[in-house]
A and B are shown apart, each in its own frame.
Chain A
Amino acid sequence: MDFEKIKKSVAAAAKRAGVTEYELYFQQSESVDASAFRNELQRFSSSVGCGVCLKCMAGGRMGYASTEIFEPGTADELVRRAKENALLIEKDEKAFIYEGKGNYVPVADNTCALPGSEAVTAAALKCQSSAYAANPLVSDGTQCGAFAAKNTVRIYNSYGLDLSCVTGYEAIYAEVLETLGDETNTAFEIGLGALDSIDTSRVASIAASRAAARFGSGKVKSGEYDVIFDARRARDILETFCSVFFAKTVQTGMSLLKGKKGEIIASECVTLIDDPFSSSSPVNASFDAEGVPTYKKNIIEDGVLKTFLYNLSTADTDNTQSTGNASKASYAANVSTSPYCFYIASGEYTREVLFKKAGNGIYITEMKGFHAGADAVTGDFSIESAGFLIENGKQGAPVKEFTVAGNFFEMLKTITAISDTLEYSAPSGSTQFGAPDILVPGMSIGGE
C-alpha cells in the first residue's frame, strides 16, 4: 500500500462525492518472532500488515470505512461506505476532524529495520539455553523466545494535517516450566531492549527462580488479610480498571468516578500519571489517533482526581479540551481512548520497610483471569491468586489456590503504603502500564 497514492485517490473520490471533511489513518505493522522447544528452534514467524481507514463527516456525523486491499475503485467505495455509515449514526456527541493546532513535541522516530531472522532466532535459543541452565527443575515445555515489532502511523486530513510516527521495540521472553514429582509450576518474564544487548540470563533466571519458589505451596484460610500486591500485579489491576478514567466511560454512566473531578478518590500516597514521553516506554507518541498533540498529565495527584482522559468528542461533551488520548485499537477501529505510559508513581518505602509495615499478611505475586473475575463497571474483582505469606515483616512460605476479592474504588482509598520500585509492562499499541508494590490492608481472601 502506497500511502501517498492513496491520499491522492481518496482526495479525488471525496471531491467527487461532495465530502469536504475527512481524515485518512494509515497503519503498517511489521513483526518477527522466534521461539524454542528443548534446545531447538521450534517456530519462526514474521508478518507485515497494513490498512487504511477513512473517516468522513456527513449530515453532521462521522462515519468510518476501512480496507487492507486497495484496488481500482476502492477509493470511491471507501468514501461511499464511510458516508453511508455516517448517516446512520444517531448519537448526540459531536465529531471533529482536527485542524492541527498546538505544539507537537518531537519524538525520535525509530526508522531502523527489524532485526533479521538469524538475530531473532539466536536470541530465542540463547534465552532457552539460559533457562535450562538456570535451574535443574526446568523441564521440556519451557518456551523462550525473542521478538521485534515496528509500527508506522500516518494521519492525513482535509485541513492538510499530515503526520507520521514510527515506533518499535525488541524483546526476549522466558516462559519457564518446572516439574518436581507431581508438581508443575510455570513463570514468565520479559526483557525489553535491543536483542543483542538484553541480559538474557537475567530474564531466564528471574523466570526460573519465580517458578522454583512456588514448589510446596500451601493453602491459606479464608479471611481478611493485609496484602502486598507485587508491582507486576498492581500493574495488572491498574490495566484492568484503567477504563474508569476515560471520559467516555464516565459520560456513559459506566464509571463510578462520575462527578468526582477535584474530589479525593484515593489515599494521599497515590499519584497516577499518564506520560506519552516516558523514557521507560519504547512507544512514545507526539500525537494521538485524531492528530491532537499529546502531553504528560497527572490523573490522580496526592489522592485527588484531576482529570479524565479525553479525545475530541468526549472533550466537547464536557466543554473542555482533548487531553490527546484518542486511540484506535487497530487502523480499522473507531476512535476510542487509551493512555500512554500510565503508572502509579513510586512511593517512599523500600520493599523491606513495606513488608515490615505489613507485619503479617499475604504477598500476592500471581493473579489470573482478570477478564473473568473483574468488572470495571462495579469495580468488583475476585481473582485467583498465588503468592507468599508475610510473617513478622518477612516473606514466608509460598501459598496458592486462593482468591483475593475487593473493589478497585475502595482499594484506591485504603492503600496505606507504596514502594520505591516501579515496574513497567511490555507495550501494547502505544500503551504501557507501570506500578510499584502496594500495601492494602483488610483484603478478603477466599481459601480453605
Chain B
Amino acid sequence: MVSREIIEQALEKTMSGGADFAEIYIERTKTNFINMLGVRVEKIGDNELCGIGIRAYKGLRSVYASTCDVSRAGVMKCASQVAGCVNERTDAPLIRLTERIFPDVHAIKIVPSGADKRIKTEILRTAANAAKQYSDVISQVSSTLVDVDHTVWIANSDGLWCSDRQVRTRLAVVSVASRKGENQSGMCGPGARMGLELFDTTDPAAVGIEASRQAVVNLNADYCRAGKMTVAIENGFGGVIFHESCGHSLEATSVANGASQFCNKLGEKIAGDKVTAVDDGTIPNAWGSVNIDDEGHPSQRNVLIENGVLKSYLVDRFNARRMGTVPTGSARRQSYEYEPTSRMTNTYIAAGPDKNEDIIASIDFGLYAKSMGGGSVDPATGAFNFAVNEGYMIRGGKICEAVRGASLVGTGSEILRKIDMVGDDMQFGQGMCGSSSGSVPVCVGQPLIRVSELTVGGR
C-alpha cells in the first residue's frame, strides 16, 4: 500500500530531527457489522479505514503524528512534522529495512470480510429467533455480527519490517425482558480471532438463548442488599474482575509513571497463594491474540503473578526505557490514530486446586456472581466497580434466590489478597477494553474463585 522505499525515506526524514528511534505503523482495515432488531436487519456498517502513524523517541520524550493521507506527500509531511517536534537536527541516518515474517498461528477458514452478507444475516436470524422464542416476556432482541479484517505493517529505524493480518468475528445478543413497565436485560457475546467458521463450534441459537435466559432471571429477581460478604465469582467473563482491578495496574502505562498500586512490588507477595495470573497473546484463535504486537514485537506468554508473587509487568517499548526493562510484546492500539501503549491480550487467573462444589459449600452467607458485566478502575488507587449481570445469594453453602442490581466494589490489592479458593475449570470470556490507546479486543478468564470478603453494592 505504501512502498518500502517511501517508508525508508520517511523513517530517515523522521530520524533527521535528532530522534534516537523512529517507527512507522501502517494500517488497512475493513470493518463490517450487521445489526438485527428483533428478527429484521436494522442497520449495516461497511467501512474501509486506512492510514499511518509515525512515532519518534528522543530519550524519554515521545512524538506521534498520524494521517489518513498515505500518498508519498502525505507520509513525508507526517514524517517532517514528527522530526520538527523532536527538533534537534542531525544528519539523517541511512535506513534499510529487512523484512521479517513471524509465524501465523491463527488459521482462518472463511474470511468474513468477503463473505456473502446473506450468510451473516442467517447466522443473526438463528440467534435472534432463539432469543425471541425463549420466553413470552422477551420484549426486544438486538443482535449484532461484527467482523474485522485488519492488516498492519510495522517498520522501524532498527530496520524491522513486518506485518500481521488479524481477522476477528463476534456475535453479540442483547435481550430485554419486560413485565408491567419494568425492563431487565441479558447479554451474551462470544468472539474469536477466527472467520465465520466460529459458528461451526459456537451455536448462534445458544448465544441468543443465553442472553434471554439472563434477562428472564433478572426480571424475576429482587434487588440485592448492599453490604460486605463472601463472594464466589464464576469462570469465563468473571475474569473481568482481575482484568480491571489488577491487570490495568500492571500495565507499564501506569507503572512507569508511578501511578500504579503495584509500583516497586516485583518479587513481593501481592495475592493469595493459590493465585497465578497470566497474560498470553499467543493462544491460537483467541479473541485477544496477536502474532506481533503493534510495535512489531512477537506476542508472548507473560506470567504476571505466580503463586501470589508479582513476577512481571506488561511493558511497551517506550515505557521499557523509563523502567529500565525490556518490552513484553504488549504494545497495542485501536488504529493508526492512536499511539501504542502497554495493554492486555488474553488475561486470566490460571486453574487452581479447588472443586467448584467445595467453593460454594464453604460459603455460609454470600453472593454467587454467575455472570459479570463490565467494570472500571482507577489504576493509581486500584479502586474498582463491576456490575454483576446475574447473581444469586448463597446461604448455608447452597445457591439460593437470584438478585439483581448488585455491583462489586473494592481495590485490586485488597481483592487479590482475599482470593482464598481457586477452582479448576478455567474459561475465557471476550470483551473490548478501552484505554489511552483506544479500544482493543481482549479475553478475560478465570476458574470459579472465592473472595473471602468484598463490598457488594445494591440497594
Q: Tell whether A pairs with B.
A: yes
Q: CB within 8 Å of B: which of A309-330?
A: none
Checking B81, B178, B455 against A46 with a beta-carbon cut-off of 8 angstroms, the contacting residue is B81
A370 and B373 CA atoms in complex are apart in Å by: 12
Are A405 and B385 in touch, CB under 8 angstroms?
A: no
Are B374 and A88 in touch, CB under 8 angstroms?
A: no
Given A252-B37, A382-B458, A401-B383; A333-B45 close (CB under 8 Å): yes
Contacts of A65 in B (CB 8 A): 46-47
| Interface assignment of A396: CB less than 8 Å from any CB of chain B | no
Q: CB within 8 Å of A: which of B245-289?
A: 257-259, 261
Are A382 and B457 in touch, CB under 8 angstroms?
A: yes
Interface of A is mostly: strand
Contacts of B63 in A (CB 8 A): 43-45
Contacts of A278 in B (CB 8 A): none
Interface of B is mostly: strand
Are A384 and B384 in touch, CB under 8 angstroms?
A: yes
| Interface assignment of B185: CB less than 8 Å from any CB of chain A | yes
Are B257 and A44 in touch, CB under 8 angstroms?
A: no
| Interface assignment of A371: CB less than 8 Å from any CB of chain B | yes
How many residues of chain A get a CB closer than 8 Å to chain B's CBs? 70
Checking A44, A186, A332, A373 against B407 with a beta-carbon cut-off of 8 angstroms, the contacting residue is A373
Apart from A372-B375, A444-B226, 15 more pairs, CB < 8 Å: A1-B68, A44-B64, A66-B47, A69-B28, A90-B40, A92-B40, A186-B378, A253-B176, A256-B183, A368-B385, A372-B385, A372-B386, A378-B182, A378-B184, A383-B407
Contacts of A218 in B (CB 8 A): none
Q: List 20 A-B contacts (CB under 8 A).
A: A43-B64, A44-B61, A49-B337, A88-B121, A91-B41, A139-B258, A140-B257, A141-B380, A184-B381, A186-B259, A186-B380, A252-B142, A253-B176, A256-B181, A368-B378, A373-B385, A377-B183, A377-B185, A382-B387, A384-B457
Are B183 and A384 in touch, CB under 8 angstroms?
A: no
Over the window 394-424 of chain B, the binary record of Cβ atoms lying under 8 Å from chain A Cβ atoms (1 yes, 0 no) is 0000000000111101100000000000000
Q: CB within 8 Å of B: which of A137-175?
A: 139-141, 143
Contacts of B42 in A (CB 8 A): 89-91
| Interface assignment of A339: CB less than 8 Å from any CB of chain B | no
| Interface assignment of A254: CB less than 8 Å from any CB of chain B | yes
- Output the least CB separation between B32 and chain A (Å): 9
A140 and B263 CA atoms in complex are apart in Å by: 12
Chain A residues in the interface with B (C-beta under 8 A) = 1, 37, 40-51, 63-69, 81-82, 84-85, 88-92, 117, 139-141, 143, 177, 184-186, 222, 252-254, 256, 332-334, 368-369, 371-373, 375, 377-378, 380, 382-384, 400-403, 405-406, 444-448
| Interface assignment of B49: CB less than 8 Å from any CB of chain A | yes
A244 and B9 CA atoms in complex are apart in Å by: 52
Contacts of A177 in B (CB 8 A): 258-259, 380
Checking A63, A90, A256, A369 against B376 with a beta-carbon cut-off of 8 angstroms, the contacting residue is A369
A78 and B48 CA atoms in complex are apart in Å by: 10
- Output the least CB separation between B165 and chain A (Å): 17
Are B140 and A252 in touch, CB under 8 angstroms?
A: yes
Contacts of A41 in B (CB 8 A): 61
- Output the least CB separation between A279 and chain B (Å): 31
Are A382 and B407 in touch, CB under 8 angstroms?
A: yes
Are A254 and B183 in touch, CB under 8 angstroms?
A: yes
Contacts of B405 in A (CB 8 A): 380, 382, 405
Checking A66, A91, A186, A378 against B37 with a beta-carbon cut-off of 8 angstroms, the contacting residue is A91
Contacts of B456 in A (CB 8 A): 446
A401 and B46 CA atoms in complex are apart in Å by: 43
| Interface assignment of B51: CB less than 8 Å from any CB of chain A | yes
Are A382 and B43 in touch, CB under 8 angstroms?
A: no
A366 and B295 CA atoms in complex are apart in Å by: 36
Top 9 A-B pairs ranked by shortest CB distance?
A446-B226, A403-B457, A369-B385, A384-B385, A444-B459, A141-B259, A405-B459, A90-B40, A45-B64
Contacts of B121 in A (CB 8 A): 88
| Interface assignment of B67: CB less than 8 Å from any CB of chain A | yes
Are B455 and A372 in touch, CB under 8 angstroms?
A: no
A206 and B383 CA atoms in complex are apart in Å by: 22
Given A66-B47, A88-B118, A375-B185; A382-B376 close (CB under 8 Å): no
A45 and B457 CA atoms in complex are apart in Å by: 40
Chain B residues in the interface with A (C-beta under 8 A) = 28, 31, 34, 37, 40-51, 60-70, 81, 84-85, 117-118, 121, 139-140, 142, 176, 178, 181-185, 226-228, 257-259, 261, 337, 339, 373-376, 378, 380-381, 383-387, 404-407, 409-410, 455-459
- Output the least CB separation between A209 and chain B (Å): 17
A121 and B383 CA atoms in complex are apart in Å by: 31
A397 and B406 CA atoms in complex are apart in Å by: 27
Q: Which residue of chain B is the closest to A371 with respect to CB atoms? A: B374
Contacts of B51 in A (CB 8 A): 49, 68
A105 and B32 CA atoms in complex are apart in Å by: 36
A445 and B69 CA atoms in complex are apart in Å by: 52
Are A222 and B385 in touch, CB under 8 angstroms?
A: no
A254 and B184 CA atoms in complex are apart in Å by: 10
Contacts of A372 in B (CB 8 A): 373-376, 385-387, 407
- Output the least CB separation between B242 and chain A (Å): 15
Are A401 and B185 in touch, CB under 8 angstroms?
A: no
- Output the least CB separation between A41 and chain B (Å): 6
- Output the least CB separation between A255 and chain B (Å): 9
Contacts of B178 in A (CB 8 A): 253
Given A64-B46, A84-B117; A50-B40 close (CB under 8 Å): no
Checking B37, B376, B380 against A368 with a beta-carbon cut-off of 8 angstroms, the contacting residue is B376
Contacts of A68 in B (CB 8 A): 48-51, 68
Contacts of A117 in B (CB 8 A): 81, 84-85
Given A141-B258, A252-B140, A384-B409; A45-B65 close (CB under 8 Å): yes
Q: Which residue of chain A is the closest to B36 with respect to CB atoms? A: A90
Given A42-B60, A48-B69, A372-B373; A141-B139 close (CB under 8 Å): no
Are A253 and B226 in touch, CB under 8 angstroms?
A: no
Are A67 and B387 in touch, CB under 8 angstroms?
A: no
